């Protein structure tokens, strides 16, 4: 069985360590946990790993956030991965910093990466893990906040939550979305 794990973010040094790149952070931590590294491939950086006989194809799209769907569709088709075996990891302003919410399907919530994926693969029926980045910004400052770098205080909260994200991804692969939701969404 194959699984496509998608960490959303933007490529380039100017976006490294920004709130909008939390999906990249989670993907990097997952790969490090398996002692794997990413290689640049078509439309994404890709790392492959095995977990109890299951193949994880972990991608970080190189298409920028607004075109993430192109990378997701390409790797779904290339690897012949059904939508029920897709997990997209994304930042969420509506959740408190470090909160984790796994859903089996749902709306884009105004997130450009999810909008692109929904339009490109023509469904909202795939799992997504939303990681809370908080919403501590003044009116009209949303873009600056999302593209801003983590503070030292935020990093202290976030690092252990990213480690839990790795365990959540493993659970998703081994026992599925519903059972994983029941366990992790309450933590």
pLDDT tens digit sequence for 42-81 = 999 999 999 999 999 999 999 989 999 999 999 999 999 9
Q: Hunting for tokens 């993907």 — which residue is that?
A: 27
Mean pLDDT of the chain: 93
Report whether 7 contacts 24 (CB < 8 A). yes
List of domains in the chain: 2-184 (3.40.50.1470)
Handedness of CA 61, 66, 72, 73 (dihedral sign): negative
pLDDT tens digit sequence for 90-133 = 999 989 999 999 999 998 888 999 999 999 999 999 999 999 98
Provide the 8-state DSSP code for 153.
Answer: H
Taking alpha carbons only, the member of 43, 60, 67 closest to residue 115 is 67
Q: Which residues are catalytic?
A: 20
pLDDT value, residue 187? 64
Q: Which residues of 132-148 are buried (b: 16+ CB within 10 A; e: fewer)?
A: bbbeeeeeeeeeebbeb
Longest Cα–Cα distance in the chain = 49
Taking alpha carbons only, the member of 92, 100, 17, 26 closest to residue 59 is 26
Predicted model pTM: 0.94
pLDDT tens digit sequence for 13-53 = 989 888 889 999 999 999 999 999 999 999 999 999 999 99
87: helix, strand or coil: strand
- Asked if residue 186 has pLDDT above 80, the reply is no
Q: Which residues contact 152 (CB under 8 A, 6 or more apart)?
A: none
Tell me what percent of the residues of the chain surpass a pLDDT of 90: 75
């Amino acid at each position: 069985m194959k699984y496509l794990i998608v960490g959303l973010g933007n490529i380039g040094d100017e976006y490294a360590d920004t709130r909008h790149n939390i999906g990249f952070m989670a993907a990097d931590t997952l790969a490090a946990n398996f002692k794997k590294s990413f290689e640049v491939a078509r439309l994404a950086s890709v790392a492959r790993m095995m977990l109890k006989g299951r193949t994880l194809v972990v991608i970080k799209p190189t298409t920028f956030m607004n075109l993430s769907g192109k990378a997701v569709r390409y790797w779904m088709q290339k690897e012949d991965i059904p939508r029920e075996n897709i997990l997209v990891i994304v930042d969420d302003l509506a959740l408190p910093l470090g909160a984790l919410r796994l859903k089996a399907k749902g709306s884009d919530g105004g997130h450009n990466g999810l909008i692109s994926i929904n339009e490109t693969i023509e469904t909202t029926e795939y799992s997504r893990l939303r990681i809370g980045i908080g919403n501590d910004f003044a009116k009209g400052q949303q873009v600056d906040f999302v593209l801003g770098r983590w503070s030292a205080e935020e990093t202290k909260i976030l690092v252990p939550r990213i480690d839990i994200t790795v365990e959540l991804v493993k659970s998703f692969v081994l026992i599925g979305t519903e059972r994983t939701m029941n366990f992790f969404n309450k933590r």
